[in-house]
Structure 1
């Protein structure tokens, strides 16, 4: 039996909305049952109905959706929050407190204190609060995690992560509303590019290594003068286990399209994955030749095999990585166990890292504690 799914934000023209709608419905696990898709109530209702949502469940805003769904016999089982950053906390908190499971876009909150509130509500209510770090759901990323966990690289010495693109490099595009909000503190919070893309790379570093970021040093730059928040950042970090971390993230790297890649170097080998070639992992054993491991080939970990959807040599893209998040969410909602689903604690750790990076950058790159107080 399908679960009922609802979406807030992600309206017509949204960058992330289509990926969620494709992902949630790719496996027949969820029915798109309710929506509040746009800041303009009329546009949101009309678009939701065009997507197949019933008239009485095409809502004008999230408060109307909460009131309409709260006491329905067939109410939604899962709500996705895909609104601007500044609204994530209020909406996620309200739906968790009303007993709904929530998948929130990142960053989960605007402050560490808000993040701790969400973690506590999720813990006390028994509701799932997941955060959409969907890159961790690519099959070959799961293979990298399994390789590290079974000791295939020995002790991890170094992680180098990068998420850089050039799509905001045109100063003449500064007033484009799809770009402008990302550098506006009222909408994006205290950080621009690092909170937008950098925390994907930081989460990936922790996800693959099974280790958490303990402290960091950051350098932020606004290379386009009209921007209040940074469009380029370099972050050095150390994990609780002593691994050295290097992370670069930028939105003004003209010529880079979607430059998310990560390298993990251990005592006995190194591995590399890039989002633009997501079906492969490059593996080099100490003293040996570089090998290319392919999605779908024999001998991969159970998790990598489980999340591979199409035969070897056929591409799997971003919407199917999002779909893998929904596959695991459906399983957990039904009472099964799934390892690797990004949680509210992951969202909290990311926000703590954002706040630490902002503090460090203002202090000229001073090393600061990157852990949230409740998880120290």
Structure 2
């Protein structure tokens, strides 16, 4: 099977997310890195791309140069990943979609709801794939949880409780660290800090496993370190369209928590729990029965969980391979086999609508508000 050609914008040397994308995209032999504009410094980006094996004529100085260079090629890239600062996602994503490229965009897909709705329309008009990197939904045992819910194995879902909280920004003396400060600066991060950074992963996970969408929400935001303009802690209550009750806590000042991403789903006949720090295990409790541990790689898992498991039981598969699972689904989609679990532009705009709604709710004393983007009402 011929490899697909892949390009990357951003994610250069020293980037936090860049290595995960490169490991993930190349892990299963579906893609080869053919083009890149990897750094905001043109010369550094070109040099690093060439070190990664990109041909000199496809090691670009910036994304506009890459777009022009790839448009006219007979061997143009099949997919471009956008891993640039948040405020640039909309412009780059739209430009590449309109030029006929498939796109994987880092979250948040856009900074505003209106931009997100425009991306949905452009993707529909061009017929190209626009995926969003909600990669936690690609862990095998998360796919197992989703399949169990869809198959009615815990009955109708009543309640979902999720958290994505850590303490790595809890030191007030480190508040001026540039790697920390931008996340709470509206000019760089947008209208929300911690909820837009981590909370939307938890919100997407709730929707993904429950196979339902958030309809209304009520939020309370706090900036526990006074110098921060945007929130570093948030509590969001929500209701899904199917009636499920949701509770979400996200924080960056929860000292003692490391990654802190977990979810519990409670149905009429059973409950499920998954935690990113123990990603190989899904905890299942049937009503009136004993709690069970379902292990990645064991027999009898649902097809999607089996398909995305690479190594035998008891061997860990970490974050880069969750990203790799997104690329597996993308490769299938580009070749014509659409995967149900691939996060798309609709997920991206729903997340951004939830962010802006939560900001408005927090400013309005936690008032309940409609969280749906107008395009889906």
- TM-score category, normalised to shorter length: over 0.9
Structure 1 residue 188 displacement after superposition: 1.1
* CA distance in structure 2 between the partners assigned to 1:4 and 1:177 by the alignment: 34
Structure 1 residue 176 displacement after superposition: 2.0
The equivalent of 1:185 in structure 2 is 186
Structure 1 residue 72 displacement after superposition: 1.0
Partner SS, residue 311 of structure 1: coil
Q: Deviations over 1:162-219 (max 9, x none)?
A: 0001111112222222212211111111111101100000000000001100000001
Q: Deviations over 1:202-238 (max 9, x none)?
A: 0000000011000000011111112111111000000
* 2:367 aligned with 1:374: no
Partner SS, residue 330 of structure 1: helix
The equivalent of 1:332 in structure 2 is 333
Structure 1 residue 13 displacement after superposition: 1.1
Q: Deviations over 1:291-346 (max 9, x none)?
A: 00000111110000000110000000000000000001011101112111001000
* 2:317 aligned with 1:311: no
* 2:67 aligned with 1:66: yes
The equivalent of 1:161 in structure 2 is 162
Q: Give the TM-score normalised by the residue count of structure 2.
A: 0.99
The equivalent of 1:18 in structure 2 is 19
* CA distance in structure 1 between the partners assigned to 2:174 and 2:33 by the alignment: 35
* CA distance in structure 2 between the partners assigned to 1:53 and 1:226 by the alignment: 43
Instruction: After the TM superposition, list the runs of 4 or more consecutive aligned residues in structure 1 that deviate by more than 6 angstroms.
Output: none
* 2:174 aligned with 1:173: yes
Deviates more, 1:355-364 or 1:180-189: 180-189
Partner SS, residue 270 of structure 1: strand
The equivalent of 1:275 in structure 2 is 276
* CA distance in structure 2 between the partners assigned to 1:48 and 1:180 by the alignment: 29
Q: Deviations over 1:348-375 (max 9, x none)?
A: 1000000100000010100000000010
* CA distance in structure 2 between the partners assigned to 1:21 and 1:90 by the alignment: 23
* CA distance in structure 2 between the partners assigned to 1:20 and 1:176 by the alignment: 25
The equivalent of 2:55 in structure 1 is 54
* 2:77 aligned with 1:42: no
The equivalent of 2:76 in structure 1 is 75
* CA distance in structure 2 between the partners assigned to 1:110 and 1:284 by the alignment: 39
Partner SS, residue 59 of structure 1: coil
* 2:239 aligned with 1:215: no
* CA distance in structure 1 between the partners assigned to 2:158 and 2:336 by the alignment: 37
* CA distance in structure 2 between the partners assigned to 1:226 and 1:54 by the alignment: 46
* CA distance in structure 2 between the partners assigned to 1:282 and 1:294 by the alignment: 9
Structure 1 residue 251 displacement after superposition: 0.7
Count, aligned residues: 376
- Give unmatched runs, 5+ long, in structure 1: none
* CA distance in structure 1 between the partners assigned to 2:172 and 2:64 by the alignment: 37
RMSD of aligned residue pairs (Cα, Å)? 0.7
Partner SS, residue 72 of structure 1: coil
* CA distance in structure 2 between the partners assigned to 1:90 and 1:227 by the alignment: 28
The equivalent of 1:226 in structure 2 is 227
The equivalent of 2:303 in structure 1 is 302
* CA distance in structure 2 between the partners assigned to 1:44 and 1:171 by the alignment: 34
* CA distance in structure 1 between the partners assigned to 2:176 and 2:124 by the alignment: 41
* CA distance in structure 2 between the partners assigned to 1:180 and 1:49 by the alignment: 32
Deviates more, 1:41-50 or 1:138-147: 41-50
* CA distance in structure 2 between the partners assigned to 1:155 and 1:101 by the alignment: 36
Structure 1 residue 111 displacement after superposition: 0.5
